[in-house]
């Protein structure tokens, strides 16, 4: 038995809602076959509550836009969501970003209503920058120029407002609207204000480069280690640890090694983590014992209540390369703890065919204990495919079906293509409708054309202007070769 996903926000994988939340190809196929009202309700829930754990790593917008178009869903639900009263109090990008991206794709398919709704939200909504970025690559010059007064009205003519405007111009992901507004001769005051904001943004950037803000460590090993532990409440410990390790690389010499070993063995938590990372990056021969002690020893309940040192030790080991690290990974890989999992993940990434056994054991153990969304699974699943561990296919199929991460599902699909003879006629067909470009590309290369849906889907992907080039290249390769199955 394998553990199920513990994410309570994701419906079971066998339901229509669960399939759509995961972005699986079967979600689209089931939605088109289900009663329309049920399909619209499930799609609407996905758009109102983004199911992705990290929208920077997972894609859903094109997937939902295609289904929205196929269902002829209309824009009322999206409009109600965007202009809900919550928009006045919750400006977080993840509340409306997915819906705005879907509107962008619908606009690229020629939906005039979606374009107008994006313009309206850019003028009135809280997450206006996202809407403006969607319009920047899809709207015409006249439409974008018309938004200038509404957008600039967001910034009062005060020192604070001008500073915010300068930051908005400087940090714009898509600069086209700002350029059009700066060149709009019909509105000279607007053009002048944006030009001043551009100059102020450039000056601020120059000042930051000349005099970087924030604390900086002194130029000695002791001062760097003290700085590593001096973070404030808003600091990111991992970023500070990485910065400290970079500083140590610049200032530490051979004479500092005893002090670094002492710090890594039992110093304050932040200094210990930075020293471990530095020694691991240098391949110090004594670092393996220090990593093992940090990863398996008890955490200090006062200095390190969250176990950050153990996590840093495992991360430091995972970044190591070379024969010594692989040899130590082979010794640790059969352990049934975090260190064993990290060692198996290293073998999955860099080991040889002889390491298939520990990788498979760790894969099964991790799924059984932590479920199909465990952080270590991506390396283990990818390794099972890289090492062609054919007997891993059952657990890979389980991960494919159950994970809430479309990114991990794509890794599982790639591994199944290398290990499971049933993949071309099975999951590969479904993958042609998947939300992830890389997964659709795998399917385009492997899906067996004995299923009547496959060739038709390949033709539709080839003709779809929104499809990514990698997918279309794979599709053209299949169609040009007669679509023979692999």
Could you report the per-residue pLDDT of 14-58, keeping only the tens digit for each? 999 999 999 999 999 999 999 999 999 999 999 999 999 888 899
Whole-number pLDDT of residue 214: 45
Placement of tokens 């930075």 in the chain: 274
Whole-number pLDDT of residue 233: 55
Maximum pairwise Cα distance, the chain? 73
Instruction: Tell me the mean pLDDT in the region 91-116.
Output: 95
Q: Which of 102, 33, 97, 98 is nearest to 74 (CA)?
A: 102
Cα end-to-end span (Å), the chain: 32
Which distant-in-sequence residues (6+ apart) come within 8 Å of 177 by Cβ? 132, 135, 136, 144, 147, 148, 151
pLDDT higher than 50, residue 343: yes
| pLDDT above 90 coverage of the chain, percent | 76
pTM as predicted: 0.90
pLDDT higher than 90, residue 394: yes
User: Where residue 212 falls among pLDDT bands split at 50, 70, 90?
Assistant: low
pLDDT higher than 80, residue 222: yes
Instruction: Tell me the mean pLDDT in the region 445-460.
Output: 93
Query: Residue 323 half-sphere exposure, CB side, CA atoms within 13 Å?
Result: 0
Q: How far apart are CA 312 and CA 272, in angstroms?
A: 9
pLDDT per residue over 74-84, tens digit each?
A: 999 999 999 99
Element (H, E) at 4: none
Instruction: Tell me the mean pLDDT in the region 183-211.
Output: 74
Token code pair at residue 471:
């997918």
Element (H, E) at 448: none
Please state, in angstroms and as integers, the Cα–Cα distance from residue 302 to each residue in 268, 274, 357, 469, 484, following that order. 10, 18, 39, 53, 63
pLDDT per residue over 358-379, tens digit each?
A: 999 999 999 999 999 999 999 9
Q: Hey, how many other C-beta atoms are within 10 angstroms of the C-beta on 117?
A: 23
pLDDT higher than 50, residue 161: yes
pLDDT per residue over 106-128, tens digit each?
A: 999 999 999 999 999 999 999 99
Please state, in angstroms and as integers, the Cα–Cα distance from residue 456 to each residue in 149, 384, 484, following that order. 47, 32, 14
pLDDT higher than 70, residue 236: yes
Better-predicted residue by pLDDT, 408 or 452: 408
Q: Which of 307, 329, 311 is nearest to 320 (CA)?
A: 329
Which distant-in-sequence residues (6+ apart) come within 8 Å of 472 by Cβ? 461, 462
pLDDT higher than 80, residue 87: yes
Which distant-in-sequence residues (6+ apart) come within 8 Å of 89 by Cβ? none
């Amino acid at each position: 038995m394998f553990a199920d996903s513990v994410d309570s926000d994701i419906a079971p994988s066998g339901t229509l809602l669960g399939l759509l939340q995961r972005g699986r190809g079967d979600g689209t196929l089931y939605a088109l076959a289900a009663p329309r009202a049920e399909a619209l309700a499930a799609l609407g829930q996905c758009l109102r509550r983004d199911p992705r754990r990290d929208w920077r790593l997972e894609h859903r917008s094109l997937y939902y836009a295609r289904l929205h178009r196929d269902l002829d869903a209309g824009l009322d639900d999206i409009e109600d969501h965007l202009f809900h009263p919550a928009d006045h109090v919750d400006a977080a990008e993840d509340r409306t970003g997915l819906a705005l991206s879907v509107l962008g794709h619908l606009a690229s398919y020629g939906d005039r209503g979606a374009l107008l709704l994006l313009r309206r939200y850019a003028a009135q909504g809280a997450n206006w920058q996202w809407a403006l970025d969607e319009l920047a690559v899809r709207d015409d010059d006249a439409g974008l120029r018309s938004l200038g007064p509404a957008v600039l009205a967001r910034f009062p003519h005060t020192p604070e407002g001008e500073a915010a405007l300068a930051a908005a111009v400087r940090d714009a992901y898509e600069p086209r609207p700002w350029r059009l507004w700066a060149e709009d001769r019909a509105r000279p005051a607007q053009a002048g204000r944006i030009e001043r904001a551009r100059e102020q943004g450039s000056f601020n950037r120059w000042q930051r480069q000349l005099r970087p803000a924030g604390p900086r460590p002194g130029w000695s090993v002791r001062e760097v280690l003290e700085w590593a532990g001096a973070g404030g409440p808003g600091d990111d410990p991992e970023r500070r640890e990485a910065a400290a390790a970079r500083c140590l690389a610049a200032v530490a010499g051979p004479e500092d090694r005893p002090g670094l070993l002492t710090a890594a063995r039992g110093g304050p938590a932040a200094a210990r983590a930075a020293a471990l990372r530095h020694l691991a990056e240098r391949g110090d021969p004594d670092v393996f014992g220090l990593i093992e002690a940090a990863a398996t020893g008890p955490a200090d309940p006062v200095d390190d209540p969250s176990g950050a040192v153990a996590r840093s030790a495992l991360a430091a080991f995972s970044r190591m390369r070379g024969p010594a690290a692989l040899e130590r990974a082979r010794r640790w890989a059969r352990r049934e703890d975090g260190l064993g999992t990290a060692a198996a993940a290293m073998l999955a990434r860099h080991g040889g065919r002889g390491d298939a056994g520990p990788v498979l054991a760790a894969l099964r153990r991790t799924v059984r204990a932590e479920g199909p969304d465990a952080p270590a699974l991506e390396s283990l699943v990818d390794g099972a495919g890289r090492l062609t561990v054919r007997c891993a296919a059952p657990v890979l199929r389980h991960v494919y079906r159950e994970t809430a991460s479309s990114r991990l599902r794509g890794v599982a699909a790639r591994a199944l293509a290398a290990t499971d003879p049933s993949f071309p006629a099975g999951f590969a067909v479904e993958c042609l409708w998947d939300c992830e470009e890389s997964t659709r590309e795998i399917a385009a290369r492997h899906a067996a054309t004995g299923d009547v849906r496959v060739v038709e889907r390949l033709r539709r992907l080839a003709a779809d202007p929104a499809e990514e080039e990698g997918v279309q290249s794979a599709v053209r390769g299949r169609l040009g070769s007669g679509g023979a199955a692999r």
